[in-house]
């Protein structure tokens, strides 16, 4: 004989644990994003030389920040990696926020 109430409380506790995990992940992702530079990377060509810049918004202004010459490959790779990391972590944070909403909606059924 299966008691429905016990199964529901187990399901609720699993959902609550998952919500806690998602909230921890959001905090972790937010902290990681604070340590990475915002903006997108682009290459500018001047006098047949290529330069790496980061473009981001500060208030209402768009700011272009010089990073390095592409001849400095180590620095360029590092900056490109930071930009890719920011994009990946930002996407993970968005997914975690969507998952949080979904879990909160599911938990409302048990209130």
Q: How confident is the model at residue 6 (pLDDT cuts 50, 70, 90)?
A: low
SS3 state at 18: helix
* pLDDT reading at 1 higher than 50: no
Question: Would you say residue 52 lies in a domain?
Answer: yes
pLDDT tens for residues 76-108?
999 999 999 999 999 999 999 999 999 999 888
Dist CA 102 CA 93 (whole Å): 14
DSSP single-letter state for residue 19:
H
Dist CA 79 CA 67 (whole Å): 8
Q: Percent of the chain beyond pLDDT 70?
A: 93
Question: Would you say residue 3 lies in a domain?
Answer: no
Question: Would you say residue 80 lies in a domain?
Answer: yes
The answer to whether 72 touches 50, Cβ cutoff 8 Å, is no
The answer to whether 97 touches 26, Cβ cutoff 8 Å, is yes
The dihedral of CA 13, 14, 19, 20: what is its sign?
positive
Question: Would you say residue 22 lies in a domain?
Answer: yes
Question: Would you say residue 97 lies in a domain?
Answer: yes
Residue 97 CA, distance from chain mean position: 10
SS3 state at 91: helix
The answer to whether 82 touches 37, Cβ cutoff 8 Å, is yes
Count the domains in the chain.
1
């Amino acid at each position: 004989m299966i008691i429905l109430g016990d199964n529901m409380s187990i399901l609720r506790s699993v959902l609550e644990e998952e919500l806690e995990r998602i909230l921890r992940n959001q905090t972790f992702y937010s902290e990681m994003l604070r340590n990475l530079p915002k903006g997108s990377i682009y290459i500018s060509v001047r006098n047949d030389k290529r330069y790496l810049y980061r473009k981001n918004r500060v208030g209402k202004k768009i700011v272009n920040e010089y990073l390095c010459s592409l001849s400095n490959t180590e620095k360029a790779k590092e900056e490109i990696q930071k930009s890719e990391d920011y994009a990946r972590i930002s996407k993970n944070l968005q997914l975690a926020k969507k998952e949080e909403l979904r879990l909160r909606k599911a938990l409302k059924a048990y209130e």
